[in-house]
Amino acid sequence: MTKGQAISLQKNDGGSLTAVRMGLGWQAAPRRGLFGSRTREIDLDASAVLFADKQPVDVVFFRHLVSDDGSVRHTGDNLVGGVGQGGDDEAILVDLARIPVHIDQIVFTVNSFTGQTFQEVQNAFCRLVDESNGQELARYTLAGGGAYTAQIMAKVHRTGPGWTMTALGTPANGRTFQDLMPAILPHL
Amino acid sequence: MTAELVRGQNHPLSQARIEIRVSAGKPIVAGATLSDEHGKVQGVEWVAHPGTPTLPGLEVSRQAAADHRLAVDLGAMPEAVHRVSVLLALPSAAGGPVQFGAVAAPFVAVTGLDGTEIASYTITGLKAESAVVALELYRRQGAWKVRAVGQGYAGGLAELLADQGLPQAHQLAGGINEAVAQGMARSVQAPRTPDGDRSRQAAAPAFGPDQTGSPYGAQGAAEPRPGYPTGSVDPSAVAQPSGSGAGGPIDYSHPRRRNAAPPPPPPTAPAAQPGQPARPVAGDATGWSMEERLYNQVWGIFEDLARTTAAYRSAVDFADSRMEKELDQVLSDPRSRIGGQGDAAREAARAKHTQLVDRARTALDRDLAQLTAEVEVVEPALPLAFARWDNPVWHGYRVPMEIPMALRLGDLRLPECPELRIPMLVRLPLERGLWIDSGRAGSLDGGYNDSHDLRQLAMETAVAHAARLLAVYPAGEFTVHAIDPAGSGAQALAPLVQTGVLAAPPAIGAAGVSEVLVRLTQRVDLVQMAVRGGAADSLPPGLDTSEQLLIVNDFPHGFDDRAVTQLRYLADEGPAVGVHLMMVADREEAAAYGPLLDPLWRSLMRLTPVPDDHLADPWVGHAWTYEPCLVPHGSQVLQQVLTQVAMARTKLR
């Protein structure tokens, strides 16, 4: 899918989508030279910001792994990345049916905590998956995507009784989601 | 504040006595090596392993287990020791995984004696290694620090030990593996599971959904059949090598206990009717026994209620603040002062507010209905220790053979749904003492203005808790002492005194107070010395090894400075060796001691005799209203239960 494209998360058979997962994967930095202890580790972080009427009310990231209501869960911080073969190294699970009624938008972001730009990270990607059937709703290849340290990936927002996902894919710079707040606001 | 270490990172240690907790998904061996300032292990006597579990200042477990606790006293380390390396290895003979790449990343944490984590480290990135140096504790400029190491060895323990300069590395590695293999063979015979984890008890038969309605349904899980020496064995028996039992004619193992066998499948909910939520079933959670499943289910309900209420409260807060903002706007807009425009805008803001709150309430009600239905099936199925006093399971009381995993201290509820009560379960053995607050400040309603009444009620609550502890422990494994200096608690203590379950009549007067305190302090000292010195079998033969509870009424009446100091000592050091306090006191009355007693109150769990909202949940920190488990008025259940406890005790002697 392309930037700005919106997908309704209503299923074809009329049943609404119940759970989505944001996945983030990247390959660990290769060891250079003789001094094994001096490898530069790459730490990318996935975050989800919950908005009510354009005000951030909760955030799920590596320091707050479960939203207060329990509907959004981060599976845990990965500090170094994986083997880069397509598996998710960090994931955020969203139980759409249980999101508090006042929250109407959820924005997913990726940040490079250790400061490498996406140009320097091998095999980095982020994706949004329908948890009920494993189908990928959106996928971005981050690697080689330019000298940015962050991406505002996608938002999931309420439309009528169900939820709609809009792919954003906006590059940005910042260490954690807080640095991205000014860049997120125009997308709400 | 826990420091989460990454490989190579270090962290200062402020305490000399620490515990190192290890958890891995599979049974592993944990050990430690001591090395000098050159990093060299001088000999086999500098290695603590399952074959030689204790060294000065260091104790490791005797068996391979998925969870370990290593006790370390850095102050007791010989001067020559400059580094303590904590090592983990996969047991070679078990037929289990042969490389760490095949098991979950091991997690190690350095904790203080009170269980607070100082630093933790998850050893990631292991592949073909079968032994790994997890942490090292080392001297740096007179102080100790901890460093996350994570150095793995594909060649196993032998290679690891050789790398630390131990000449006899191969022989020792062989010896360790043999000791572990023996430990494993022994653990199958032992009446208790190898790591002493009481949560893995005899598997109870799974109950079908049709049986769960019966109030006696869970009894089989709570009370193993008498006649099998499961819970009442002396704990030291587990530690003895029981090689002779392996070939002997008598099988001491519990017929229903199979350590290696998978647990019976949990009762699953019948398939839901289309369009309706699944019908809840008692024990619908993970666990090795019905008891553990129910425990986990109760905690699951507790968390769900906390979270769903958080969702509701945040939605309502948001609706409130939005309406306030919109009303402010209307007020500050000059146009709104003319005509009906302002009224219409105000009306619209209120309507938006009502609509959002209604939607939030609908979502909450849906979740509450589900949780209420679940509590309704769980409550009657609860075993003795988890059940309210009015549960019929108490009328079929028999002295249990095993210590239950947890104890119900009362009920918790939130103002949004006062009728939905969550059992408040705390793990046994108790980790901290209890403080039954007889002060007036805490009560929700002003109904107990008479402080005498409140004090009486506090003492009755204390007796109900103590009786429950006595009842759920196997005969003779729990002992209750009472201090009642002025005799004001005599009426409340009567059930304990009349049935004769107290160790001695309640101590009266200053002399009685000091006598009891001296006795318990001595016991703490002795057991502590024995544990620290690794000489548990050298305790005097007459010493009572059961858990002890001291009920203190009317504190500080009858206490002199010396007695107060002893009490604080018991509060600090007692829980680790099974001596607990139950203070029935009003903090105001002890105010004369000033901040001296603050640590005492902090170390105890505060409970109230009347409903009070002072307990917070661990997830979102709501204030929950706690209500103690009290015996229904006019019920004889307490006397009946205590009479049986007393009978079982006399039989034991």
Gap between the Cα atoms of B46 and A22, Å rounded: 50
Gap between the Cα atoms of A64 and A47, Å rounded: 10
CA distance B367 to chain A (A): 9
Query: Do B451 and B308 sit in the same domain of this protein?
Result: no
pLDDT(B276) > 60: no
Half-sphere CA count of B548, side-chain side, radius 13 A: 28
Query: Do B608 and B552 sit in the same domain of this protein?
Result: yes
Q: Is some CB atom of chain B closer than 8 A to the CB atom of A181?
A: no
Residue of B nearest to A100 (CA): B311
Which DSSP string do the residues of B459-514 spell out, in sequence order? HHHHHHHHHHHHHHSPTTSEEEEEE-TTSTTHHHHHHHHHHT-BSSSPB-HHHHHH
Q: Is residue B242, in this structure, part of any structural domain at all?
A: no
pLDDT(B237) > 80: no
Share of residues in chain B with pLDDT > 70 (%) = 81
**pLDDT tens digits for B286-326?**
888 889 999 999 999 999 999 999 999 999 999 999 999 98
Query: Do B596 and B514 sit in the same domain of this protein?
Result: yes
Residue at B296: amino acid letter: N
Q: What is the CATH number of the domain that holds B77?
A: 2.60.60.30
As a whole number, the mean pLDDT across chain A is: 83
**pLDDT tens digits for A161-178?**
788 888 888 889 988 888
CA distance A102 to chain B (A): 5
CA distance B137 to chain A (A): 19
Q: Is some CB atom of chain A closer than 8 A to the CB atom of B361?
A: no
Q: Is residue B118, in this structure, part of any structural domain at all?
A: yes
B262 phi/psi in degrees, rounded to 5: -70, 150
Structure-block tokens of residue B362: 């609908």
Structure-block tokens of residue B563: 């007695």
Domain that holds residue B555: 406-532+543-652
| Chain B partners within 8 Å of A52 (Cβ) | 318
Residue B362 pLDDT level (bands cut at 50, 70, 90): very high
Fold of A6-27+40-187: Lipoxygenase-1 (2.60.60)
Contact B311 A100 (CB under 8 A): yes
Query: Do B447 and B336 sit in the same domain of this protein?
Result: no
**pLDDT tens digits for B596-651?**
888 888 889 999 998 888 888 888 888 999 999 999 888 889 999 999 999 998 88
pLDDT at B277: 57
Collapsing DSSP to helix, strand or coil, A89 comes out as coil
Distance of CA B274 to the CA centre of its chain: 40
Contact B314 A102 (CB under 8 A): yes
Q: Is residue B200, in this structure, part of any structural domain at all?
A: no
Residue of A nearest to B300 (CA): A70
Q: Is residue B244, in this structure, part of any structural domain at all?
A: no
Q: Which of B147, B167, B189 is the last residue of a domain?
A: B189
With b for 16 or more beta-carbon neighbours within 10 A and e for fewer, the B381-416 pattern comes to bbbbbbbbbebebbeebebbbbbbbbbbbbbbbbeb
Query: Do B300 and B434 sit in the same domain of this protein?
Result: no
Total domains in chain B come to: 3
Q: What is the CATH number of the domain that holds B588?
A: 3.40.50.300
Q: Which of B140, B155, B189 is the last residue of a domain?
A: B189
Strand ranges (E), B415-466: 422-427, 434-437
**pLDDT tens digits for B106-115?**
888 888 877 6
pLDDT at B275: 52
**pLDDT tens digits for B407-445?**
999 999 999 999 999 999 999 888 889 999 888 654 445
Domain boundaries along the sequence of chain A: 6-27+40-187
pLDDT at B18: 87
Gap between the Cα atoms of B151 and B287, Å rounded: 34
Maximum average pLDDT range among A138-142, B531-535, B583-587: B583-587
Query: Do B497 and B581 sit in the same domain of this protein?
Result: yes
Q: Which of B154, B189, B224 is the last residue of a domain?
A: B189
Gap between the Cα atoms of B486 and B507, Å rounded: 9
Pairing of strands B547-555, B478-483: parallel
Q: Is residue B448, in this structure, part of any structural domain at all?
A: yes
Query: Do B26 and B82 sit in the same domain of this protein?
Result: yes
